[in-house]
Structure 1
Amino acid sequence: MQSQAKAHGPLAGIKVLELGTLIAGPFCSRMLAEFGAEVIKVESPDGGDPLRQWRVLKDGTSLWWSVQARNKKSITLNMKQEQARKIAKRLALDADIIIENYRPGVLEKWELGFEDLKAINPATIMVRLSGYGQTGPLKDLPGFGAIGESMGGLRYVSGHADRPPVRVGISIGDSVAALHGVIGAMMALRHRDVTGGRWNGKQGEACVAGQGQMVDVALYESVFNLMESLVPEFDHAGVVRERTGGALPGIVPSNTYTTAEGENIVIAGNGDAIFHRLMKAIDRDDLAQDPGLVRNDGRVPRTAEIDEAIQTWCSGRDIDTALQILKAADVPVGKIYSVRDMMSDPQFLARQMFEQHAFEDGTPVKLPAITPKMSETPGQTQWLGPRLGQHNQEVLSGLGYSDAEITQMLADKII
């Protein structure tokens, strides 16, 4: 594991407190940590974040954890105890950004809600990620990514028309919400800085500071935000977008096709000039020269005919030959990648999309590289996901607690 060097990057000097588990909140703070923010993650001393035990494990800890918690500092606080909540409040008041994904009302019960903190520190920025947001009739219900994907419209349009909806193979609802949280946090930080900057006072003292705010992220709304023209199409034309498998309805041709050996490729020949090149490349000059197919609105009614022509051509060729011919014709085409394909692909390798690291026992492990790529202030993996409570001593000492006090907290099961 790499040494925990001093943070650098565009967010160096920004302090973030993470009060959350699993995916949405932790992914949000993970991105801030990757670009230099100091992220202190509060975990329960009784096992910590459940994600530590999700999916494939190494020595009892999830491999996912090495990515999701990289660059974070783990401290344990038993939030059932008053002293632990007081410590959390001190950390929150010292933070530039607080990220949480508990059910609405939990932080208020602990006197750590946005209004509680804002009354002391007017520059408080709190990113709140939940299933349904902080208001509305559903706000108190538990919210998971799968529910957000369903309510936000993504599941309804995913899959084939003659089968039940399917899920994307990752927790896309949580991750999309996390990205909205990052965007909101950055905009709130900008607003705070232009209205006065960081709060430099102490508890109970008035101090001039910038204006903080709450960033209220609902999972279902984050998914809904991706749904393109869904609303105006229904409102204006009564169109309900349905499941269409691998096709892109109304934009022709764009679909998934199967080659001779059963492998799948995506072909996007929906631009007018691209369509012409595609038809010539697959030896269908008759379609390339058909005046009724020159524009997309003419191709849409003949979608089945065009797809059949492309599929017939693909069925007679192996995937490498099909890719070579279509790329030579400057037609957007791509193989559907598994992780095995990614790990040896020249584009992934040229863009340095994998980082080599090692666990504490020296076992090597590759992680996905950090995105986006920034020319002057790139992100960096400083260390892998930490052990539970690994930074208790460091963080609590920084708050002024003595070694003896920290030892007593451990004995009293506060940490």
Structure 2
Amino acid sequence: MADRSTAPLADLRVIEMGQLLAGPFCGQLLGDLGAEVIKLESPGRGDPMREWGREKPRGRSLWWPVVARNKKSVTCDLRTSEGQGLARALIARSDIVVENFRPGTLERWGLDYETLRADNPGLILVRVTGYGQHGPYAPRAGYGSIGEAMGGIRYITGDPGHPPARTGISLGDSLAAVFATIGALAAAHHRGNTGRGQIVDSAIYEAVLAMMESLLPEWALTGYQRERTGAVLPNVAPSNVYPTADGEMILIAANQDSVFGRLAAAMGRPELATAPRFADHAARGENMAELDDLIAAWTATLAAEPLLRLLHEAGVPAGRIYTARDMFADPHFAAREAIVRLIHPELGEFPMQNVVPKLSETPGAIRHLGPELGEHTGQVYRELLGLDDERLTALADRGVI
């Protein structure tokens, strides 16, 4: 098991409240980099993520071991006054709280920031919600899919002529968690200089909006509305998916002038690079359809492996569109340990994506898979709050833990 003491965030303790993905993914990222993450879960039920996933061998979620990796599970009924007292005591001994309840929930429980900060002036409260902590939409229930729609990514995702498409992952939740993590680290840096904590307010729709490139000024200054374009990048060519002789699909991105010249040479058509209709970026964008047809006719004569070898030798960016099977077989994934394997007590060897990014001096690590519900309840309450067995038994009898 990896040693947490050498990780960059080993001096931070995080209390994670909330459930599903947006808040917990922030906790996962902090835990990956060494923070002690104590996840508070409802007794008897726990986070619904424990049940999520289409495939559940032996009734076990394959999602939970990933999103809850490196965390400690402690049961605590936050809807009871005793549970709120336990949470407040833990928070007083911690650095960061991550929550993704609807705005006002912590306040109803007596866990508002002013109360928590009175106990712990350096506390950083990370709040992940659909719409943020203020504004007319703040009280609404906000799921990642709604944030994706409101933030703009859904409208431009998919093929022309079809309704907007989902990207295939919980993109909005994950983006909000990534920005929440950046905010938490920035707030921790500020606290190191001043001793003062603060609130990090990460809204899903704003996290999506932050990724939308020049969409806003395009509309405001020119009236141009981006539309769904499928696999292509509008007016940027060639950048598309092309067929091969053995039925695979290869993505080629050669839109820069010098790179297109190398592609044309690899195709045995060097004259394409100087032809007026393809000679520069603007011309290739205007004649995208014709250029894609020419490239597709060429790639369809070659099998994927020799085609890719030719393109790589020519310095043309190209690659397969990977599935999980491709990732497991790829030597680059193996060389960089992009996939790691831990042992699950029931399922055996359990592969998952490694910590990102890689740090040369203080790397993060996956120390253990997602814990059983309440696995660390006794340990945490004894070590941090000094509760004895009699008190723990009484709390359990009343359903608080």
Amino acid at match of 2:172: G
Q: Does 1:63 align with 2:62?
A: yes
* Pairs within 5 Å for 1:192-271: 192-195=191-194, 210-271=195-256
> Whole-Å Cα distance in 1 between the matches of residues 97 and 325 of structure 2?
37
> Deviations along 1:209-243, whole A, 9 cap, x unmatched?
x1211110000100110011111111111111111
> Deviations along 1:115-158, whole A, 9 cap, x unmatched?
32123332221110000111111111111111111111111111
Count of matched residue positions in the alignment of Structure 1 and Structure 2:
399
Q: 2:29 aligns with which of 31, 52, 55?
A: 31
Amino acid at match of 1:261: D
The 3 A distance-change label for structure 1 pair 372 and 247 is same
Paired position in structure 2 for 1:19: 17
Q: 1:314 aligns with which of 299, 302, 310?
A: 299
> Whole-Å Cα distance in 1 between the matches of residues 40 and 260 of structure 2?
54
> Whole-Å Cα distance in 2 between the matches of residues 277 and 286 of structure 1?
11
The answer to whether the 8 Å contact 2:70/2:366 transfers is yes
Residue 337 of structure 1 and its aligned partner are, at CA, apart by: 0.2
SS at match of 1:98: strand
Amino acid at match of 1:114: Y
Paired position in structure 2 for 1:414: 400
The answer to whether the 8 Å contact 2:272/2:279 transfers is no
Quick check: 53-62 or 379-388, which moved more? 53-62
Q: 2:288 aligns with which of 291, 297, 303?
A: 303
Paired position in structure 1 for 2:364: 379
The answer to whether the 8 Å contact 1:28/1:182 transfers is yes
* Pairs within 5 Å for 1:97-116: 97-116=96-115
TM-score (norm 1): 0.93
> Whole-Å Cα distance in 2 between the matches of residues 10 and 218 of structure 1?
26
Paired position in structure 2 for 1:9: 7
Quick check: 175-184 or 307-316, which moved more? 307-316
Residue 253 of structure 1 and its aligned partner are, at CA, apart by: 1.3
Amino acid at match of 1:36: G
The answer to whether the 8 Å contact 1:67/1:367 transfers is yes
Residue 286 of structure 1 and its aligned partner are, at CA, apart by: 3.1
The answer to whether the 8 Å contact 1:25/1:100 transfers is yes
> Whole-Å Cα distance in 2 between the matches of residues 322 and 361 of structure 1?
43
The answer to whether the 8 Å contact 2:160/2:228 transfers is yes
> Deviations along 1:68-98, whole A, 9 cap, x unmatched?
1111110011122110110011112221111
Mark the runs of 5 or more structure 1 residues left unpaired by the alignment. 196-209
The answer to whether the 8 Å contact 2:239/2:255 transfers is yes
> Whole-Å Cα distance in 1 between the matches of residues 346 and 173 of structure 2?
32
Paired position in structure 2 for 1:85: 84
Q: Does 1:356 align with 2:359?
A: no
Paired position in structure 1 for 2:257: 272
Residue 362 of structure 1 and its aligned partner are, at CA, apart by: 7.3
Residue 356 of structure 1 and its aligned partner are, at CA, apart by: 2.1
Amino acid at match of 1:225: A
Amino acid at match of 1:339: A
> Deviations along 1:300-328, whole A, 9 cap, x unmatched?
11111111111111222221122122112
Paired position in structure 2 for 1:201: none
Q: Percent identity?
A: 45
The answer to whether the 8 Å contact 1:108/1:116 transfers is no
> Whole-Å Cα distance in 2 between the matches of residues 364 and 256 of structure 1?
35
Paired position in structure 1 for 2:388: 402
The answer to whether the 8 Å contact 2:218/2:225 transfers is yes
Amino acid at match of 1:128: R
The answer to whether the 8 Å contact 2:155/2:228 transfers is yes
SS at match of 2:74: strand
Amino acid at match of 2:23: G
> Deviations along 1:187-227, whole A, 9 cap, x unmatched?
000001101xxxxxxxxxxxxxx121111000010011001
Residue 7 of structure 1 and its aligned partner are, at CA, apart by: 4.2
SS at match of 1:46: coil
The answer to whether the 8 Å contact 1:7/1:38 transfers is no
Residue 112 of structure 1 and its aligned partner are, at CA, apart by: 0.9
Mark the runs of 5 or more structure 2 residues left unpaired by the alignment. none
Residue 60 of structure 1 and its aligned partner are, at CA, apart by: 2.8
- Structure 1 ranges of 4+ moved more than 3 A: 4-8
The answer to whether the 8 Å contact 2:128/2:203 transfers is yes
Quick check: 358-367 or 24-33, which moved more? 358-367
The answer to whether the 8 Å contact 1:8/1:35 transfers is no
> Whole-Å Cα distance in 2 between the matches of residues 223 and 151 of structure 1?
8
SS at match of 1:119: helix
Residue 361 of structure 1 and its aligned partner are, at CA, apart by: 4.2
> Whole-Å Cα distance in 2 between the matches of residues 54 and 361 of structure 1?
17
CA RMSD of aligned residues (A): 1.5
Residue 270 of structure 1 and its aligned partner are, at CA, apart by: 0.6
> Whole-Å Cα distance in 2 between the matches of residues 60 and 293 of structure 1?
56
> Whole-Å Cα distance in 2 between the matches of residues 58 and 141 of structure 1?
36
> Deviations along 1:54-79, whole A, 9 cap, x unmatched?
11324333121111111111001112
The 3 A distance-change label for structure 1 pair 256 and 311 is same
> Whole-Å Cα distance in 2 between the matches of residues 287 and 367 of structure 1?
44
> Whole-Å Cα distance in 1 between the matches of residues 329 and 155 of structure 2?
34
